[in-house]
Structure 1
Amino acid sequence: MLDNLPKKTSIIKTKEKWKVSASTNAKNCKNYIRELVDNLVLEPNPEKQVIALSLGDPTVYGNLQTANEVVEAVLDTVRDGACNGYVPCLGLPKARKAVAKYLSRDNVIYEEKDIILCSGCSHSLELCITVLADPKKGHNILIPKPGFPLYRTLAENLGVTVKMYNLLPEANWEIDLNHMESQIDEDTAAIIINNPSNPCGSIFDYNHLKDILDVAEKYKIPIIADEIYERLVFPGNVFVSATSVSSQVPMLVCGGLAKRFLVPGWRMGWIAIHDPIGAFENEIRTGLCSLSQKIIGSNTIVQGALPRILECTPQTFHDGLIDTLYENARIAYKYLSTVKGLEPFMPQGTMYMMVKIQMKNFPQFSTGLELMQKMMEEQSVFCLPGDAFGIPGYMRLVITIPKELIEEACKRITEFCGKYFMEVQ
């Protein structure tokens, strides 16, 4: 009987050639650092060792290693075998409790329910932008300029518009609050603040954070606080989390192990929900939970080790890391302060230093990109140009490399600038 039924005729036209197109989502995904660097012709001087002052990975040169206690915690978790399977998408309860305890300070108390574990801080940022900004509603988000370019990558990939607010180099890279406020409109869904700052190495104090949150409260806009460099501050400075500033502004705080514990490849980040007025209580908490299910949880081995990592890593390890970074920053600042045509900004923390290039004194180069390219060709030293962070005429130095290489790099930069510097009327 079934054999006698009429056959369905396909209405799909056959194609003569294969044509497989990338999705709009894929086409919208741009890594602005990679796009910029990959288009440069970088041919180092073969007679000089390449010194890369461009990589934000503190482990590259091997001089900075995580604490033995961190390693042992992970090894014991592997041997135990209890964390080899799937865990709740939000993270193991004991790991979330450990992060809540770690972040509870300065009169801010978190609970397990406030913590979501993610696959690195970049994943934390992606979830926060996704849950708050809806491209179908024409939403935009505000990001700092100069700022970490991944904010723009993540937002534009989703179809969310990005608007930039200025940081003020003459005021230790504080936010230009008037400019930030001018960028806000009825479609602004969130403001990203990055403190301590990449690329600026700056730290916002309590009063400045209070002024920022006053603007957010005025327009009822939530904050995404990127605090991946929390507590990485130099002597004379204090890290203040935005959440510890008395306000009624709901915030999603992004952080992780990558920088302070020197394990970026372990991909362990988190979101801490700070919600003094209950604005996130229903939809946002539920939305973050749903979004976390996309990757079915972060690295389970590291999750299992998190309580010991956060509780047992000695303060001497953290102090030693800061001492190393601070010494490298002082070396670079001392050298480059004497170089005609350059104006370094002494960082207050993190792993970076911004340097202004007086382009008028280097007329041979029309852009900072060209100058960086020539410096690589002649001196085998490469820094990321400010263009990568939205601010031409600057360069960012990474200060995580060994002391002797920082000194050598600064000597080469000095030699290079001395060769091309020209006085102008």
Structure 2
Amino acid sequence: MEPQQPQQQQQPQRGDWARVPASCVARRTHNPLRTIVEELAIQPNPDKHFIALSIGDPTTFGNLRPAPEVVKALHDSIDSGSYHGYGPSVGHLEAREAVARYSSTEKVHVEAKDVVLCSGCSSALDLSITALASPGQNILMPRPAFPLYRTLAESIGVETRSYNLLPENDWEADLNHLESQIDENTAAIVVCNPSNPCGSVFKKQHLKDMLSIAARHKLPIIADEIYEHMVFPGHEFHHLASLSEEVPILSCSGLTKRFLVPGWRMGWIIIHDRNGLFDKEIRKALLSLSQRTIGSNTLVQGAIPAILSNTPQKFFEDTIKVLQDNADLAYDILSEVKGLRPVMPQGAMYMMVGITVTLFPEFSSDLDFVERLVSEESVFCLPSQCFNYPNYMRLVLTVPKEQMEKACKRIAAFCQRHHQDYLSKRISSVSIT
């Protein structure tokens, strides 16, 4: 008798190679800023030098550079030979200790165990949102807002709800509107202070009012504080965590902006949790999530203690002076332009400028306005639809002063040409002729 052959298991048919489907996360990932910018017809006037007031990278123009002490710290880290390999997923202990010292205040004591090092502040925001919110839940974010919050949340199936910021109140949050967006599925509130794109710096009482809402609804806060201390004279930055003993907060920051090294990709999360509300699950969640990328840049980690302790105060003051001088210059010029409403910033690197579109009848939106501004004057500002807030544009304040002045004068000339008063006179002149 022939031995019985084992039956071969029938393999499921997978069809042909017509396509390889993308994952749900990939299909849900969408960056509205990139989408809008890539669809704009950006064709500068070839007869005019192109000035980009659109890029949130302070190093782009070469006038703002990291302090020599910062560069030396990285050289020393490389030369030490101690940071070429993998480190702990949350970061080397000495680097986390340095960040803890840097982030501690008279009212808030931070320890190394409260610090998670990340690959830039964007990664810190990613880990924070992913740790706190699950598919089907929602998080609250400001409007206008840095669009990455939406990109990160919606990619994992988390809804974003916007609460309004008020330009007439220096972009403070509409507290009633904020509270009205909260429901039983809300997982966290995102607070960006100092603000991108608004350049606002919230007053202490306003932050306390926001914290009161969070406490009333038992909601943690994700504090985007990457522009911490980048504040103009006469204003004061307050860490959210210094104003509450009740609300648990994940504060996201890093070296990127204040130290002028965005490409070094070094950010961090500071866990502020005086009542142990994050102890059971969130601390473990952040550790687990950080293990997906096996930690941040170890060479920069090796430099962090020297960077945070050796960078002179004058370096920060000089950077702030450049930003404020440009803000003053832009505000002085643009506030005299019919149809524009600049809102004077209090810090960060940006100014929002309102556009009364009805006074420019050739344009249907801020997108049209920006496209024509580029084609005629070779000045590129981001349309505020990138930040879910139409009829404004965002100016970056990090350019050299002479370029800032030239750009603002070009904007003024452009507005004068296209303002309805000028157009009416031109039409009347043609009709008479």
2:393 aligned counterpart, secondary structure: strand
Contact 2:89 2:290 in 1 (8 A): yes
Counterpart for residue 233 of structure 2: 235
1:6-17 matched pairs, under 5 angstroms: 6=6, 8-13=8-13, 15-17=15-17
For residues 387 and 295 of structure 2, the distance between their equivalents in structure 1, rounded to whole angstroms, comes to 31
1:41 to partner: Cα distance = 1.2
Q: Which letter does structure 2 place at the counterpart of 1:317?
A: F
Contact 1:213 1:247 in 2 (8 A): no
For residues 271 and 17 of structure 1, the distance between their equivalents in structure 2, rounded to whole angstroms, comes to 43
1:11 aligned counterpart, secondary structure: coil
RMSD over aligned Cα atoms: 1.4
1:117 to partner: Cα distance = 0.2
Counterpart for residue 86 of structure 2: 86
For residues 271 and 386 of structure 1, the distance between their equivalents in structure 2, rounded to whole angstroms, comes to 28
1:175-324 matched pairs, under 5 angstroms: 175-324=173-322
Query: Any unmatched runs of 5+ in structure 2?
Result: 425-433
For residues 344 and 14 of structure 2, the distance between their equivalents in structure 1, rounded to whole angstroms, comes to 64
For residues 275 and 9 of structure 1, the distance between their equivalents in structure 2, rounded to whole angstroms, comes to 55
Counterpart for residue 427 of structure 2: none
Contact 1:195 1:204 in 2 (8 A): yes
Counterpart for residue 129 of structure 2: 129
1:336-415 matched pairs, under 5 angstroms: 336-415=334-413
For residues 227 and 299 of structure 1, the distance between their equivalents in structure 2, rounded to whole angstroms, comes to 21
TM-score in terms of structure 1 length: 0.97
For residues 236 and 101 of structure 2, the distance between their equivalents in structure 1, rounded to whole angstroms, comes to 20
TM-score in terms of structure 2 length: 0.95
Per-residue CA deviations over 1:103-152 (Å, capped at 9, x if unaligned) read 001411100000000000000000000010011xx210000000100000
For residues 418 and 360 of structure 1, the distance between their equivalents in structure 2, rounded to whole angstroms, comes to 14
Alignment equivalent of 2:140, drawn from 133, 139, 142: 142
Contact 1:386 1:396 in 2 (8 A): yes
1:21 to partner: Cα distance = 1.5
For residues 243 and 113 of structure 2, the distance between their equivalents in structure 1, rounded to whole angstroms, comes to 21
2:301 aligned counterpart, secondary structure: helix
1:291 to partner: Cα distance = 0.5
For residues 307 and 80 of structure 1, the distance between their equivalents in structure 2, rounded to whole angstroms, comes to 14
1:6 to partner: Cα distance = 3.0
1:374 to partner: Cα distance = 0.5
**What fraction of aligned residue pairs are identical, expressed as a percent?**
55
1:16 to partner: Cα distance = 4.1
Q: Which letter does structure 1 place at the counterpart of 2:59?
A: T
For residues 271 and 412 of structure 2, the distance between their equivalents in structure 1, rounded to whole angstroms, comes to 46
Alignment equivalent of 2:333, drawn from 325, 329, 335: 335
Contact 1:28 1:156 in 2 (8 A): yes
For residues 313 and 205 of structure 1, the distance between their equivalents in structure 2, rounded to whole angstroms, comes to 27
1:12 to partner: Cα distance = 3.0
Q: Is the alpha carbon distance of 1:16 and 1:89 closer, same or farther for their aligned partners in structure 2, counting shifts above 3 Å?
A: closer
Counterpart for residue 98 of structure 1: 98
Per-residue CA deviations over 1:317-353 (Å, capped at 9, x if unaligned) read 0111001111111111111011110010110000000
1:11 to partner: Cα distance = 2.4
1:5 to partner: Cα distance = 4.2
Q: Is the alpha carbon distance of 1:4 and 1:298 closer, same or farther for their aligned partners in structure 2, counting shifts above 3 Å?
A: farther
For residues 182 and 294 of structure 2, the distance between their equivalents in structure 1, rounded to whole angstroms, comes to 35
The farther-off stretch of 220-229 and 245-254 is 245-254
1:144 aligned counterpart, secondary structure: strand
For residues 60 and 14 of structure 1, the distance between their equivalents in structure 2, rounded to whole angstroms, comes to 49
Count of residues in Structure 1 that have an aligned counterpart in Structure 2: 421
1:10 to partner: Cα distance = 4.0
Moved over 4 A (4+): none
Counterpart for residue 72 of structure 2: 72
1:36-51 matched pairs, under 5 angstroms: 36-51=36-51
1:276 to partner: Cα distance = 1.6
For residues 4 and 77 of structure 2, the distance between their equivalents in structure 1, rounded to whole angstroms, comes to 63
Query: Any unmatched runs of 5+ in structure 1?
Result: none
Q: Is the alpha carbon distance of 1:360 and 1:280 closer, same or farther for their aligned partners in structure 2, counting shifts above 3 Å?
A: same
For residues 247 and 144 of structure 1, the distance between their equivalents in structure 2, rounded to whole angstroms, comes to 23
Contact 2:211 2:244 in 1 (8 A): no
Contact 1:201 1:349 in 2 (8 A): yes
